[in-house]
């Protein structure tokens, strides 16, 4: 009986002890719980200058309500240093106050917190060391009735979003982003009001702006709590210096960055830089660094593609919706402008049915007899296909095709055309309405043809090259080719075959 009584007493004591521990851990309140956080901040003599700014803009009225706030308060030394060159404004105070309760112990790593300015600041807890936009937080107060405060030795300023940062550092990229705007119909907001004569719905239209750049890459103008991006793009002076280096290396009519066509920048350079420089999340500098000279750094870009990182990003800038970097030493890859420009012959055609083709709209054909062009599959061809137009035997009528070649700079080129040795005819070839070559397919019959450079082209599996100089390109993109049939050749099959046309820069 005594042993049972002893067990009951022990159980009661254990229960009382557990309840006491529970109450001490969960139900005990800090001594500051009934104190207004604003009263606590005012009593801290090292925050008097911040307190004065709060009163000047009448922000002290915030603490008359029951709302909760977290304050990121610069010390007097921080305020003094800032005021030597800056001015405390309402937007700065908005940025240093959050109407959320921020408990550092509940945050590990990075967390976006929204401020009164409705901008997001970056709060980071790194092993107990806390930061506000990478400014160290030197002190964290206990919990007060309506919030808490942190102290820091530097005034943290509102961060631009990525679009605002881009606008201030490289207007070329800003203009490129703006150029991707389209006005589209918002069908959810628009109201159908009838039908037209073809049965299409007519809407009481509500239009919205849709940006292709932001759709494909990242909404740089927007701010999110859980979405960020990293953009590596050269600042304006670095970008222009690289364009000037490109211009002087081309041995052309270009002298500096002002001469490089904007059309080329938008079509070629911008997509390349964005594909190699836009990433999801906040990518830290060490993630771009090679562990050794033999290593290759690859990162998955925001499009989901793996890209090689052959540059060093520097000057990390925290933005309200991500990181922005400059290039350490920005150079434009010469593969974007110094290599050859190849146009496949089949690019001149469009599919109009099963094994049926027609010329693209931008191809001009002049003929006395209409001959159907075809795209023919040949595994040994450049892109496994060729463009072929077959004429009737002995055809002596007119036939010419005219088309443009994109992305050619004004410089001297060796234009090489790969064709089929068994398709005959005599042709004049014009570039920008200037005759640059008269070619007779019968020239292949001796087993080779001479290049204008002096070397010989030998056929390879019935395909062979012939070439000519092109020296009359005076503007970017102004490359108009016309191939004019003059007379039949000495073989049974007459017509035009183009595997590809290659423009090889020749300095």
CB 436 within 8 A of CB 468: yes
CA distance 352 to 475: 34
Give the CA distances from residue 261 to residues 174, 257, 475, 481, in Å, rounded to whole numbers and listed in that order. 17, 9, 9, 21
Q: What is the 3-state secondary structure (H, E, C) of 353-398?
A: ECCEEEECCCCEEEECCCCCEEEEECCCCCCCEEEEEEECCCCCCC
- Angstrom distances, CA of residue 326 to CA of 43, 83, 272, 481: 44, 29, 16, 41
Tokens of 379: 């595994």
- pLDDT by residue for the chain (507 residues), tens only, comes to 555 545 544 444 445 444 444 444 444 556 778 899 999 999 999 999 999 999 999 999 999 988 999 999 999 999 999 999 999 999 999 999 999 899 898 888 889 899 998 889 999 999 889 999 999 999 999 999 999 999 999 999 999 999 999 999 999 999 999 999 886 655 665 566 666 766 676 665 656 678 899 999 999 999 888 899 999 999 999 999 999 999 999 877 899 999 999 999 999 999 999 999 999 999 999 999 887 777 788 999 999 999 999 999 999 999 999 999 999 999 999 999 988 999 999 999 999 998 899 999 999 999 999 999 999 999 889 989 999 999 998 899 999 999 999 889 999 999 999 998 888 789 999 999 999 999 988 888 788 899 999 999 998 888 899 999 999 998 898 899 999 999 988 777 889 999 999 999 987
381 vs 498: CA distance, rounded Å? 10
Backbone angles phi, psi at 259, to 5 degrees: -90, -20
* Distance separating alpha carbons of residues 414 and 481, to the nearest angstrom: 14
Task: List C-alpha distances in Å: 343 to 259, 384, 473.
Answer: 25, 14, 17
Residues in contact with 419: Cβ distance below 8 Å, sequence separation at least 6, in sequence order: 441, 463, 464, 465, 466, 497, 498, 499
The token duo for 194 is 């009838």
392: DSSP letter: P
Coil, strand, or helix at residue 298? strand
The two tokens of residue 290 are 């090679």
Residue 14 pLDDT: 46
Give me the helix-helix angle, 48-56 and 76-83, nearest 10°.
Answer: 60
Q: Cα 455 to chain center, whole Å? A: 43
DSSP 134-176: TEEEEEE---BTTEEEEEESSPPPPPP-HHHHHHHH-HHHHHH
DSSP secondary structure letters along 303-360:
TS-EEE--S-EEEEEEETTEEEEEESS----GGGTTS-EEEEGGGGEEEEETTEEEE-
CA dist., res. 433 & res. 489, Å (int): 24
Delineate the domains of the chain, giving CATH numbers in brackets.
37-152 (2.30.180.10), 164-336 (no CATH), 341-505 (2.60.120.260)
Name the residue among 286, 180, 158 with its Cα closest to residue 230.
286
What pLDDT, on a 0 to 100 scale, did the predictor assign at position 23?
Answer: 44
State both tokens at 54.
């709060």
3-state secondary structure 97-133: EECCCCCHHHCCEEEEEECCCCCEEEEEEECCEEEEC
Calpha distance 276→175 (Å, rounded) = 19
Instruction: Please list the residues that pair with 110 across neighbouring strands.
Output: 124
Nearest to 453 by CA among 472, 440, 468: 468
pLDDT, residue 30, reads 64
pTM over 0.95, yes/no: no
């Amino acid at each position: 009986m005594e042993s049972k009584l002893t067990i009951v007493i022990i159980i009661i004591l254990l229960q009382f002890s557990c309840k006491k521990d529970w109450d001490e851990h969960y139900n005990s309140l800090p001594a500051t719980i009934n104190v207004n956080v604003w009263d606590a901040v005012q009593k801290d003599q090292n925050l008097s200058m911040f307190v004065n700014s709060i009163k000047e803009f009448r922000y002290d009225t915030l603490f008359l309500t029951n709302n909760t706030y977290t304050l990121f308060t610069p010390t007097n030394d921080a305020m003094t240093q800032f005021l030597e060159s800056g001015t405390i404004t309402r937007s700065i105070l908005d940025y240093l106050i959050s109407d959320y309760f921020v408990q550092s112990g509940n945050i590990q790593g990075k967390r976006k917190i929204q401020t009164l300015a409705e901008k997001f600041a970056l709060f980071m807890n790194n092993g107990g060391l806390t930061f506000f936009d990478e400014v160290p937080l030197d002190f964290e107060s206990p919990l007060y009735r309506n919030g808490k405060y942190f102290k820091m030795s530097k005034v943290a300023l509102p961060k631009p979003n990525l679009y605002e940062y881009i606008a201030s550092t490289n207007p070329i990229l800003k203009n490129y982003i703006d150029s991707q705007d389209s006005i589209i119909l918002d069908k959810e907001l628009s109201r159908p009001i009838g039908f037209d004569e073809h049965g299409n719905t007519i809407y009481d239209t509500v239009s919205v702006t849709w940006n292709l750049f932001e759709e494909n890459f990242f909404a740089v103008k927007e701010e999110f709590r859980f979405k960020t991006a990293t953009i590596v793009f050269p600042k304006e002076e670095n970008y222009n210096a690289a364009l000037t280096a490109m211009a002087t290396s081309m041995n052309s009519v270009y002298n500096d960055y002002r001469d490089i066509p904007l059309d080329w920048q938008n079509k070629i350079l911008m997509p390349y830089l964005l594909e190699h420089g836009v990433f999801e999340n906040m990518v830290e500098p060490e993630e771009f660094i090679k562990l050794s000279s033999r290593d290759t750094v690859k990162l998955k870009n925001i499009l989901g593609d793996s890209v090689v990182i052959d540059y060093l990003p520097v000057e990390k800038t925290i933005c309200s919706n991500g990181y922005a970097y400059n290039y350490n030493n920005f150079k434009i890859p010469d593969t974007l402008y110094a290599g050859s420009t190849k146009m496949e012959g089949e690019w001149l055609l469009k599919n109009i049915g099963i094994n049926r083709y027609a010329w693209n709209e931008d191809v001009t054909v002049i003929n006395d007899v209409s001959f159907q062009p075809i795209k023919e599959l040949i595994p040994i061809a450049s892109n496994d296909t060729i463009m072929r137009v077959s004429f009737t035997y002995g055809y002596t009528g007119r036939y010419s095709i005219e088309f443009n070649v994109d992305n050619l700079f004004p410089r001297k080129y060796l234009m090489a055309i790969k064709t089929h040795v068994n398709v005959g005819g005599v042709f004049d070839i014009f570039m920008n309405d200037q005759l640059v070559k008269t070619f007779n397919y019968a020239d292949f019959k001796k087993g080779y043809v001479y290049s204008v450079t002096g070397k010989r082209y030998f056929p390879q599996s019935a395909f062979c090259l012939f070439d000519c100089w092109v020296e009359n390109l005076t503007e970017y993109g102004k490359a108009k080719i016309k191939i004019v049939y003059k007379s039949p050749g000495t073989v049974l099959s007459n017509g035009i075959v183009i595997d590809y046309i290659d423009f090889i820069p020749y300095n």
